[in-house]
Amino acid sequence: MSDDHQSCSILSAGEPAATRSAAPMWIIVTTLVLLFLGGIYFDRHSGWFDAKVYAPYASAENLGAYQPQSGPAVFLARGRKNYEAVCGICHGPDGLGKPGQAPALAGSQLVNCKGFDRLIHIPLAGLAGPITVAGQGWNLNMAAMGAALPDDDLAAVLTYIRSSWGNTAGPVAGDDVKKVRAAIGRNPQPLGGAQTMAMPE
């Protein structure tokens, strides 16, 4: 290549250099509008980074509105919770009881029967003395473990044990517990085993 070829106008004007120039106004405005719209979308749909909030729920508040509040399933769940806290320690979370501590509730004729007044009476007043459950004799003392539970909670517990582990008896309502509690009075005495077995259902 000859020197003549390099003598074009660019070189004669010197090395080109990048210069600073202001960003066009429309880019700035568009960016700000997009940021604003993005902010609105984020506010409506993000759940504010709450790890518990997934789409389609928009916020923790929206998710909270869809939590179950009532109904038979909730009543049973409440019964199970109380059962496992109060009764399950001796009768077992599986309702099978513990040898020398408590008889099984699963398949027990005291639980799985048509009426429930006698069943309500046991946790409210306690039970002391020999009883027979599913053909096996037990001679133990049970304190009035359910006396401290509110009527609704005890009803939920009894409904739970009457419909779990193969038991198929019907539900117990809070009012039923209230009636029995009123009949027992303020100073409950544990019933003897024979008395309990002789009680009407």
Partner 1 sequence: MKTGISVFLAAFVALGASWCGFVLAPMLQLGGAKQTVVLQSTDNWPLQRTGDATLGLQIYRAYGCAACHTEQVRQTGAAFEITLNSLGVQKPADFIEFTKSLFVLPELAAYTNAIATGLNDWNGGLPKTLLTSTDKDIVTEMADRLKAVGVKSETRIVATGADIARGWGSRQSVAADYLYDQPVQLGGLRAGPDLANIGVRAPDANWQLAHLYAPKSVTPASTMPSFKFLFEVRPVGATPSPDALNLPKEFAAAAGYEVIPKPEAKQLAAYLLSLKANVPLYEAPFTPVMPPNK
Among 14, 16, 68, 99, binds partner 1 (CB under 8 A): 68
Pick the piece of the chain touching partner 1 (CB under 8 A) from 32-40, 78-86, 146-154, 191-199.
Answer: 78-86
Count of residues interacting with partner 1 (CB under 8 A): 30
Pick the piece of the chain touching partner 1 (CB under 8 A) from 27-35, 117-125, 165-173, 176-184.
Answer: 165-173
Task: Output 74 or 143, the one with its CB closest to partner 1.
Answer: 74
- Which of 118, 102, 97, 98 minimizes the C-alpha distance to 169? 118
Cα-Cα-Cα-Cα dihedral sign, residues 108, 113, 117, 120: positive
- The H or E element containing residue 170 is none
Within residues 21-60, the interface with partner 1 by CB under 8 A covers 49, 51-54, 56-57
Nearest approach, Cβ of residue 24 and partner 1 (Å):
18
- Residue 73, interface with partner 1 (CB under 8 A)? yes
Query: At 1, which amino acid appears?
Result: M
Pair 158, 119: CB distance under 8 Å: yes
Region of 52 (left: φ > 0; alpha: ψ -120 to 50; beta: rest) is alpha
Pair 128, 191: CB distance under 8 Å: yes
Among 58, 163, 173, 197, binds partner 1 (CB under 8 A): 163
- Residue 14, interface with partner 1 (CB under 8 A)? no
Q: Residue 111: how many CB atoms within 10 A of its CB?
A: 24
Tokens 């568009």 locate to 30
Can you tell me whether residue 141 is helix, strand or coil? strand
Among 67, 99, 100, 187, binds partner 1 (CB under 8 A): 67
Tokens representing residue 95 in the block: 């309702």
- Residue 63, interface with partner 1 (CB under 8 A)? yes
Question: Which residues contact partner 1 by CB under 8 A?
Answer: 17-18, 49, 51-54, 56-57, 63, 65-74, 76-78, 80-81, 84, 163, 168, 170-171
